[in-house]
Amino acid sequence: MSVDSAAASAVAAPAGAGALGPRLRGSRPVLLPLAAAAAMLLGWQVADILLHVPSLVLPTPVEIGGELWRALPTLLAQALPTTRDTLMAFAAASVLGVGLAVVITYSPLLRDMLYPNLVFFQLVPKVALAPLFVIWLGIGSPSRVVFAGFVSFFPVVISAAVGLEGTDPAALRLCRSLTASEWRSFVLVRFPFALPAIFSGMKVAMTMAVIGVIIGEFISSQAGLGFYILNAGSRLDTPDVFAALVVLCALGVALYGAVALAERGVRRVYGRH
C-alpha cells in the first residue's frame, strides 16, 4: 500500500516560490526540469566524446537518437504486444481489485479474513512467481497478462479498500439520516469519496503492469520490448538497447499519463453531477 506514496506525493509536490517575475515563474516548473534534463544529456554527449567511451559501453545520446530513428518501425511493432498485454493486465487488475475492495468493504468478516493476507502479498516479491505462470500458462501472451495482472492487482485492491473504508463517516451518517439505501449511499457518497484512492492505486497498478509484462517478456517471450531489450543486450548492441528503452519509457509514461488523465476526467464528471 505504501508503494504509491512516492508517486502520489510527487504529483502534489509544491514548487518552491522563487524570486522570479510572475511571467517567468509560471513556466519555471516546466522549463527548469527540462533544461536540467537537456544539460545532463549534453554533459553525457560531451563526456562520452572527450573520454572516448566505446559505444558498446555507453553510446552517446546522438548515437541513440540515430539508432532510434533507424529502428523505430521495428520498435513500434515490438511495442504493440507489450502495450496490449499491459493494458489487458491493467484492466483486469483494476476491475477485480475494485470489485474485491467493494466486497470487503461491505463484509467485515471477509475484510478481517482477507485484508492482512492481501497486505502480505503486497509486501512479498511477487515477481519471483513469474516462472510459475510460464509453467501454468505457457510462454504465450496469456501467461504474461495473468502474471502482470497478478502483480498489479494488489495495489488496486489495497488502495481502493482503504479509500472506501475512509469515507467521511459524517457523510455516511447524513445518508443514513436521509434513509438512503446502501446502494444509493455507495453510488452517491462512498465511491466518489474513494475515487482519489482508487486512482492512486490504479496509477501504481499501471507501472506494475508494465514491469510485470517486461519481466514476463524477459523470461519467456519471443516478442515485445522486453524480449527486444534482452536480445539486443545479448548481441551487445548497446545503442539498440537504449533505443528500445527510450520507447519503453515513453510507453510507461504515456500509460501512466492516460490513467492520470482519466482521473481528472472522472473527477470533473463527478463534480458536475
Partner 1 sequence: MAVLEEIGQTGEAASPARFARGVLLPLGFAVLVILTWQILCEWLRVPPILLPPPSAVWAVLRDNYGILLQQALPTATETIVSFAVASLLGVALAVALTFSAWIREAFYPNLVMFQLIPKIALAPLFIVWLGVGEKTATVVAVFIAFFPVVVSSATGLVSAKPEVLQLCRSLAASEWQVFHMVRFPYAMPFIFAGMKVGVTMAMIGVVVGEFITVQKGLGYIILFAAGAGETATVLAAIVLLCGIGLALYGAVELAERVVRHRYGGAMPVGGVI
Partner 2 sequence: MSAGAAARCIEASGVSKIYRRGTAAAVEAVSSVSFAVPHGQFVAILGPSGCGKSTLLMMVGGLEPVSAGSILVDGAPMTGPRTSIGIMFQDPTLLPWKSALDNVLFPIRVLKRPIAEYRETARRLLERVGLEGFEHKRPHELSGGMRQRVAICRTLVYEPDLMLMDEPFSALDAISRDEMNELLLDLWQQYRKTALFVTHSIREAVLLADRVLVMTKRPATIVEDLAIPFARPRAISIGESREFNEICAHLRERIEEGHDRPRSRRAGTEPLS
Residues that bind partner 2 in the complex, under the rule CB under 8 A? 168, 170-171, 173-180, 184-185, 188-189, 192, 267, 270-271, 273
> How far, in Å, CA of 265 to CA of 254, rounded?
16
Residue 194 lies near partner 1 (rule: CB under 8 A):
no
Q: Which three cell numbers stand for residue 205?
A: 497498478
Q: Between the CA of residue 62 and those of 31, 99, 103, 214, what are the distances in Å?
A: 22, 47, 53, 26
Residue 13 lies near partner 1 (rule: CB under 8 A):
yes
Binding mask 87-126 vs partner 1 (x if CB under 8 A, - otherwise)?
A: ----------------------x--xxxxxx--x--xxx-
Interactions with partner 1, residue window 26-65 (CB under 8 A): 28-29, 32-33, 35-37, 40, 56-58
Residue 249 lies near partner 1 (rule: CB under 8 A):
yes
Position among 79, 89, 252, 263 found at the interface with partner 1 (CB under 8 A): 252
Position among 24, 136, 265, 267 found at the interface with partner 1 (CB under 8 A): 136
Residue 168 lies near partner 1 (rule: CB under 8 A):
no
Q: Is the dihedral of CA 228, 214, 7, 58 positive or negative?
A: negative
> How far, in Å, CA of 178 to CA of 190, rounded?
15
The least CB distance from residue 260 to partner 2, in Å, is: 18
Q: Which of 143, 134, 150, 141 is nearest to 80 (CA)?
A: 141
Distance of CA 103 to the CA centre of its chain: 24
The least CB distance from residue 168 to partner 2, in Å, is: 7
236 binds, among partner 1, partner 2, none (CB under 5 to 8 A by kind): partner 1
7 binds, among partner 1, partner 2, none (CB under 5 to 8 A by kind): partner 1
Query: Which H, E and C letters describe 120-133, residue by residue?
Result: HHHHCCHHHHHHHH
> How far, in Å, CA of 102 to CA of 249, rounded?
33
